[in-house]
Amino acid sequence: MAKWIAGVDIGGTTLSVGMVPVAGGRPRALRVDDTAGGRGGAAVVEQVCAMVRAAVDEVVCAEASGVEVAGVGVAAPGSLDRARGVVLESHNLGWFGLPLRDRVQAATGLPTVVENDANCAACGEWWQGAGRGFRSVLGITLGTGIGGGIVMDGRPFVGATGAAGEIGHMTVKYGGRRCTCGARGCLEAYASGPGIARTAVEGLAGGARSTLPELVAGDLGRITAATVHEAAVEGDAYATGVLAHTARMLAAGITSAVNLLGPDAVVVMGGVAEAGDLLFGPLAAELGRPRFRSAVDACTVVPGALRGTAGVVGAAGVFRLRTEET
State the residues that interact with Zn ion by CB under 5 A.
Answer: 169, 179, 181, 183, 186
Report the sign of the C-alpha dihedral through residues 299, 301, 307, 312, in that order: positive
Q: To the nearest whole angstrom, how small is the minimum distance from the Cβ of residue 177 to Zn ion?
A: 10
Measured from the CB atom, is 7 or 253 closer to Zn ion? 253
Nearer to Zn ion, 134 or 190 (CB): 190
Residue 117 in contact with residue 11, Cβ under 8 Å?
yes
For residues 172 and 242, which CB has a smaller minimum distance to Zn ion in the complex?
A: 172
**Rounded to an integer, what distance in angstroms lies between the CA atom of residue 198 and that of residue 221?**
9
Nearest approach in angstroms of CB 9 to Zn ion is 23
Least separation in angstroms between residue 187's CB and Zn ion is: 8
**Smallest distance from the beta carbon of 145 to Zn ion, in angstroms?**
9
d(CA 319, CA 308): 19
Nearest to 287 by CA among 278, 276, 274, 298: 298
* DSSP structure string for 274-286: GGTHHHHHHHHHH
Residue closer to Zn ion by CB (options 18, 78) is 78
Shortest separation between residue 310's beta carbon and Zn ion, angstroms? 22
Of 270 and 317, which has the nearer Cβ to Zn ion? Answer: 270
> In a 3-state reduction of DSSP, which class is residue 237?
helix
Nearest-angstrom CA–CA distance, 7 and 21: 10
In this complex, which beta carbon is closest to Zn ion, that of residue 162 or of residue 262? 162
* Minimum CB distance to Zn ion, residue 205 (Å): 23
Percentages helix, strand, coil for the chain (3-state, rounded to 5) are 45, 25, 30
Distances (CA, A) of 56 to 21, 29, 63: 12, 8, 11
Q: Which is nearer to Zn ion, 169 or 229 (CB)?
A: 169
Q: Find the shortest distance in angstroms from Cβ 186 to Zn ion.
A: 3
Q: Which is nearer to Zn ion, 36 or 163 (CB)?
A: 163
Which is closer to Zn ion, CB of 30 or CB of 183? 183
CB of 181 to Zn ion, least distance (A): 3
CB-CB contact of 141 with 147 (8 Å): yes
Nearest CA to 27 among 81, 92, 99, 75?
A: 75
Is 260 exposed, middle or buried, given 0-12, 13-18 or 19+ CB atoms closer than 10 A? exposed
CB 274 within 8 A of CB 225: no
d(CA 244, CA 227): 15
C-beta neighbour count of 47 within 10 angstroms = 19
Q: Minimum distance from CB of 312 to Zn ion (Å)?
A: 27
